[in-house]
Amino acid sequence: MARDLYADIQEVLVSEEQLNQRTQEIAAEIDARYGAIDGADEILLIGVLKGCYMFMADLSRAIKHPHRVDFMAVSSYGNSTKTSGAVQIILDLQKDISGKHVIIVEDIIDTGLTLQYLRKNLIARRPKSLEICSLLSKPARHKVEIPVDYLGFEVPDEFVVGYGLDFAQLYRNLPFVAILKPEVFS
């Protein structure tokens, strides 16, 4: 019998309906910002894999302004629930971003160290602009301040899964964001 992932959930923090509504709101904010820039070129959304994939797909469908997508894969967790602090680029961008309006799309900002590294790396590639969009943020865990332009939700210092976020590559398919029962990962 298949494992019941729902049985491992302690509490739903952000429902499917809340995720959909906030994603639509963020898309409208992005459309308003880039629509207000005279002659604004298309936007390049850079998704940070793997956790961003559901959020980025929904966000991309909701943004009306012309945009392209690309992906990077970075790792600082492995199969742990805590970041190691050492960031490794596993998959880099396919195209040059110099002179482009770039929005990094992230699933969650935990300590901020991975995003700080990624932001510096991308700024060195000379985009026209660089903004950050994150579905979630855990302010209690931040070690560095990161300028976030578009934020979905703040969550408590708990291990969260669902809507692309995982533990040991499971739970990404849950249609909500939830706290994982501690006995599952301890």
CATH number at residue 41: 3.40.50.2020
Question: How distant is the alpha carbon of residue 8 from its chain centre?
Answer: 23
Domain assignment present for residue 161? The answer is no
What's the number of domains the chain is made of? 1
70 is catalytic: no
Cα–Cα dist 43/133, whole Å: 13
Structural domain boundaries, residue 67? 17-155
Higher pLDDT, 114 or 75: 114
pLDDT range class, residue 3, cuts 50, 70, 90 = confident
Residue 121 and residue 90 in contact, taking contact as beta carbons nearer than 8 Å: no
Region at 116 (left for phi over 0; alpha for psi -120 to 50; beta for the rest): alpha
Domain assignment present for residue 115? The answer is yes
**What mean pLDDT comes out for the span 102-119?**
95
Residue 61 and residue 40 in contact, taking contact as beta carbons nearer than 8 Å: no
Catalytic residue among 8, 58, 107, 110: 110
Domain assignment present for residue 6? The answer is no
Cα–Cα dist 49/127, whole Å: 20
Cα–Cα dist 39/17, whole Å: 34
Q: Is 19 exposed, middle or buried (0-12, 13-18, 19+ CB in 10 A)?
A: buried
Using one digit for the tens of pLDDT, what is the confidence trace for 24-51? 999 999 999 998 776 668 899 999 999 9
Residue 180 and residue 168 in contact, taking contact as beta carbons nearer than 8 Å: no
Domain assignment present for residue 45? The answer is yes
H/E element, 180 = strand 177-180
Using one digit for the tens of pLDDT, what is the confidence trace for 70-82? 999 987 755 555 5
**What mean pLDDT comes out for the span 7-33?**
97
Domain assignment present for residue 92? The answer is yes
Domain assignment present for residue 149? The answer is yes
> What integer pLDDT is reported at residue 41 of this predicted model?
80
Cα–Cα dist 65/47, whole Å: 17
The tokens for 27 are 């898309």
> What integer pLDDT is reported at residue 81 of this predicted model?
53
Region at 112 (left for phi over 0; alpha for psi -120 to 50; beta for the rest): left
Domain assignment present for residue 174? The answer is no
Domain assignment present for residue 130? The answer is yes
**What mean pLDDT comes out for the span 57-74?**
95
